[in-house]
Structure 1
Amino acid sequence: MGIKFWVVRSIKVFLSIFVILIIIEQLKGHDIQNAVMFSLLWSFLSTLVFISSRVYQSRKGVVCTLCNDTPEQKTKTKN
């Protein structure tokens, strides 16, 4: 998997976590500045852990049967 794959995946994960957290923080009644800072921090940390674990698993050859989204897996399942 190339660098483009991991960059796109990182952006998708970061943005989805950020949006979820900002909505939750706003529903909890926190002001926007604190909500944004909290969401940025935890989105970054969550993305870092998620991507690191996926890179580690892909290098070890462990495939996620639930995900089925890695390019190598898609080509193998089509045949």
Structure 2
Amino acid sequence: MPIRKWTIQYLIAFPVVLMLLAGVQYFKGRDLDYAIEFGLIWAAISITVFALRRAYNFKKNIACSLCNDLPENKR
């Protein structure tokens, strides 16, 4: 498993998703504390679900053209 590659990607994606979700809540008129808490919780949930599905696809040898983790099957 390309753990190092995935870890770097998720370390970059987590703050981006956090700021996006917290920003949306803040602009909707919520308190800053609530917006940050919402962003933290849902960013963690989103990243976890995506990571688990990606690991499952890798384990089952399911190719993903977006993820590019497995070599293409030559036919």
State TM-score, norm by structure 1: 0.78
Q: Distance in 2 between matches of 1:6 and 1:23?
A: 25
Secondary structure of the equivalent of 1:63?
coil
Q: Which residue of 2 aligns with 1:69?
A: 68
Structure 1 unaligned segments of length 5 or more: list them. Answer: none
Identical pairs, percent: 26
Letter in 2 for 1:12: I
Q: 2:14 corresponds to which residue?
A: 14
Q: Does 1:44 align with 2:44?
A: yes
Gaps of 5+ in 2: none
Q: Distance in 2 between matches of 1:14 and 1:68?
A: 17
Aligned residues: 73
Q: Which one has the bigger helix percentage?
A: 1
Give the number of the structure with larger relative contact order, counting CA–CA contacts within 8 Å between residues 6 or more apart: 1
| 1:69 maps to amino acid | N
CA RMSD of aligned residues (A): 1.9
Off by >3 Å, runs of 4+ in structure 1: none
